[in-house]
Amino acid sequence: MSKYVRPIALEVVDIHPMYLNSANAAKFLGYTPQTLGLSRHEGTLGGVESPKFTKRGRQIFYKLSTLEAWAEQFPEHHHTTEALYEMDQIK
């Protein structure tokens, strides 16, 4: 048996470890890649402005810090009643 170990194909973006491709960005945010792609066209995601992205050639990349900041705008809740109450207050 050979001592050579074949590397595993990872979904890491080679340009910089702080960037995610569109599929990984969607996973990080909890959306499907299709929804994230649609948000680039429409400009909204989750009812707010969609996160900024970088396009290099035909590929789309998201800065991890941008995705984290985008996700932080949504408040955390202890229970669903609290979340529903807040949604009613916004309307």
Q: CB burial class (10 A; 0-12, 13-18, 19+) of residue 67? A: buried
Report which of residues 40 and 7 the model is more confident about: 40
Q: What is the pLDDT of residue 67?
A: 95
Residue 75, CA distances (Å) to 34, 49, 61, 72 in order: 25, 16, 25, 7
Would you kindly state where each structural domain of the chain is located, as residue ranges?
19-90
- Does the pLDDT value for residue 91 go beyond 90? no
Backbone angles phi, psi at 60, to 5 degrees: -110, 135
Q: What is the pLDDT of residue 1?
A: 46
34-90 pLDDT tens trace: 999 999 999 999 999 999 999 999 999 999 999 999 999 988 877 777 767 665 665
CA dihedral sign of residues 19, 54, 42, 66: positive
